[in-house]
Each structure stands twice: as structure tokens, then as C-alpha cells.
Amino acid sequence: MEQYDQFKENARPLAEGLFGRRPGLGRRMGIDFKEGAAVLEFEGRTFGTIQARFKGNSSFNYAWNALKRSFKLDFNDGEKGRTFFGLTKLNLNNNAMDASQLREALAYHVFRLAGVPASRTAFAKVFVTVPGKYERDYAGLYTVVEQVDERFLKDRFGTKAGLLLKPERIPGLPYLGEEWTAYTNRVSPKTKGTLDEEGIRNILREYPVVAVVEEHSPVGSLGAKVKAVAWDMQ
């Protein structure tokens, strides 16, 4: 990676709009992750120049001065249509607070067994090269996590239509009142779909988890959502 050290510098406080770009702890701290160029080599094969950036909230802060930081890799940002074994993005998670290095992969595995559309995972040993500083230095064992994006939606649900939201700082989808603005500061839209705000509010307000399955099972992936909540409560 030619710009490895610049990635940390670019995780900088935003000059304006502390709440304007990314939710979660990073947003509250004013951290913004900028992409930089990197060259990826996998099992002796070079995939050329890709885009990479740091990722994470607590995991990033925990590994601030360490070589083993979490990354997001983008394969088609600079070359449209390019994929990595069919994927356009991958997450390399550093398991910063998990000495076993297993919990995240096991959690995704359990959710998939339960019928929840969860990301696929793998493990990878990551080495970092920065000319003049690192020469194939071993960063550590990472959990490789499939990106949840439009390709993911198409693969799991047969369509990429709809609104994909990434929750931040909250467990599940608690009821936060009647005003939708209470939710918009806690989720980050990842697609350009639309949302039936009133329908979502009614579900959160009026129905317990078990009743949701019976009364609203035809609604999108609601059944999978209930499964995820149920397994998360175990």
C-alpha cells in the first residue's frame, strides 16, 4: 500500500457538519475515512490497484497505533465491472476486542443456519508492504466479511429494489417515537430506495416480535428480521 500511513491521517475531524457524513461513534468523534490507492495480492496473484480505506468505530480506535487495522476494499471503484470472485467490495475486520478471533465468523454462521440472510465470511492472513517502512509485515489474522450492498440484495432476495439501511449505535430497531427524524440520525441509507415510514412505525409500536411474523409475514424480509432478533436475544 503506497498510502498506508495517509489513511490514518485522512481519518480526520470534519471541519463542518459533525453529523453530516457517517453515523455511529466515528461521526460523533468527527472521523471521516478517506479512500486511497492500494495494490492487492492474493495467493500470489496481483489484482492491480484497488481503493482501500480504514473502517470501524471501536475497532478502529482500539487499533489506532497498531498495524492491524480494519479495512474496506473496493475492487471496481477505479475499474468499473471488476470483481474479486464476484464481489465488488470486501471487509477485512481485525477482531480487535476478540482474543479468540472467532466470534464474528461464528455469529454470521449461526444466523445463516437460522435462515437469516447474513454475510458469508472467511479468514485471511494479511501482510502489509509500504516502501521504506514495511516489507510484507504480518498484520495478523482477519475475518473477511461479505459486503451487504445491492449485489447482496439481488443474490439473497432476487431484487435490489428497496431501501437498505445500516443501523449504528443501536441494538436492533427499538421504537423511538412517532417522528422519523429520531431514526434518521441512527441509520445510514445504503441504497436509493424509499421507505414506508408509517408502516415501519406501526410495526415497531404495536406488535410484539411473535405477532409480527403472523400478521406481516408477506412484507419483504420481515420474517428474517424477526429471526435475527430472536437469535440475537439468545
State pTM to two decimals: 0.73
Give me the pLDDT at residue 69, please.
92
Distances (CA, A) of 227 to 61, 154, 194, 202, 224: 31, 20, 24, 19, 5
Which sign does the torsion angle of CA 74, 75, 76, 81 carry? negative
Do 28 and 18 form a contact (C-beta atoms < 8 A)? yes
Query: How confident is the prediction along the chain (234 residues), in pLDDT tens digits per residue?
Result: 545 555 555 544 432 332 334 555 555 555 678 888 999 999 999 988 999 998 887 788 888 788 999 999 999 876 778 899 999 999 999 999 999 999 999 999 998 998 889 999 999 999 999 889 999 999 999 999 999 999 999 999 898 887 787 777 656 566 677 676 776 677 777 877 666 666 666 655 654 444 334 444 444 455 665 566 555 555
pLDDT score for 203: 55
185: left (phi over 0), alpha (psi -120 to 50) or beta: alpha
pLDDT score for 191: 77
The residue extents of the domains of the chain are: 4-147, 168-232
pLDDT at 164: 81
